[in-house]
């Protein structure tokens, strides 16, 4: 495990073996990072956030509690995972909001999924396994496994394979041009053909 001196890591956080926390990153209380994770410069990991093994949280990404990231998730530079439906600094009576004045909602990301640079995921949303959110997208609804979404708001524009490359339709079958793996569409999700 490597934690550089300028990082701010709570003694109550749990950091897995082989993980690296880089300059000016902050990891809050009760956050749990799995093994072999990388938290880039200036990234923020909120209190109690759960991150699986082999995840990459790139520079200046903001992962607010109560986010849950499965194994192998990629969070691009300056991505924001939000946690509040109705953000306000004050209550209707003008008093400063406290933790008791709002309900946190989180973003859940499945294994192998990737969120492109400067994207925003507006909680509560679930990003399915192996899905890909294109850079600068705003996700406001759940994303199916292996879906490729882009835009503001993000809309599905295709499917991606395990390699992250868009699948191409060849003779009615979706094929990963990188690996040659083939898939079929079933009920708005895809299934790998054997």
The answer to whether the CB of 42 falls within 8 A of the CB of 58 is no
pLDDT at 102 (0 to 100) = 86
pLDDT at 173 (0 to 100) = 92
Domains of the chain: 2-87+104-160 (2.160.10.10), 167-194 (no CATH)
Task: Kindly report the three-state secondary structure assignment for every residue of 71-98.
Answer: CCCEECCCCEECCCCCCCCECCCCCECC
- From residue 80, how far is each of 119, 124, 151 by CA, in Å? 6, 13, 15
Residue-by-residue pLDDT tens, the chain, 194 positions = 999 999 999 999 999 999 999 999 999 999 999 999 999 999 999 999 999 999 999 999 999 999 999 999 999 999 999 999 889 999 999 999 998 888 899 999 999 999 999 999 999 999 999 999 999 999 999 999 999 999 999 999 999 999 999 999 988 899 999 999 999 988 888 999 98
How many angstroms from the chain centroid is the CA of residue 151?
17
Q: Single out the residue of 92, 52, 48 nearest to residue 73, CA to CA.
A: 52
d(CA 97, CA 135): 32
pLDDT at 127 (0 to 100) = 98
The answer to whether the CB of 23 falls within 8 A of the CB of 7 is yes
DSSP letters for 19-70 = -EE-TT-EE-TT-EE-TT-EE-TT-EE-TT-EE-TT-EE-TT-EE-TT-EE-
């Amino acid at each position: 495990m490597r934690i550089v001196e300028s990082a701010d890591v709570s003694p109550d956080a749990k950091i897995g073996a082989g993980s690296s926390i880089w300059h000016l990153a902050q990891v809050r209380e009760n956050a749990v990072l799995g093994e072999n994770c990388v938290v880039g410069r200036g990234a923020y990991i909120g209190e109690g956030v759960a991150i699986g093994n082999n995840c990459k949280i790139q520079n200046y990404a903001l992962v607010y509690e109560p986010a849950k990231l499965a194994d192998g998730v990629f969070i691009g530079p300056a991505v924001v995972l939000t946690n509040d439906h109705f953000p306000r600094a004050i209550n209707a009576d003008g008093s400063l909001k406290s933790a008791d004045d709002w309900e946190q909602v989180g973003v859940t990301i499945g294994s192998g999924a990737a969120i492109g640079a400067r994207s925003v995921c507006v909680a509560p949303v679930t990003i399915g396994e192996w899905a890909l959110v294109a850079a600068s997208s705003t996700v406001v609804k759940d994303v199916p496994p292996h879906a490729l979404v882009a835009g503001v708001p993000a809309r599905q524009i295709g499917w991606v394979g395990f390699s992250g490359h868009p699948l191409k339709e060849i003779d009615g079958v979706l094929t990963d041009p990188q690996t040659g793996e083939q898939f079929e569409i079933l009920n708005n999700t895809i299934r790998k053909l054997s």
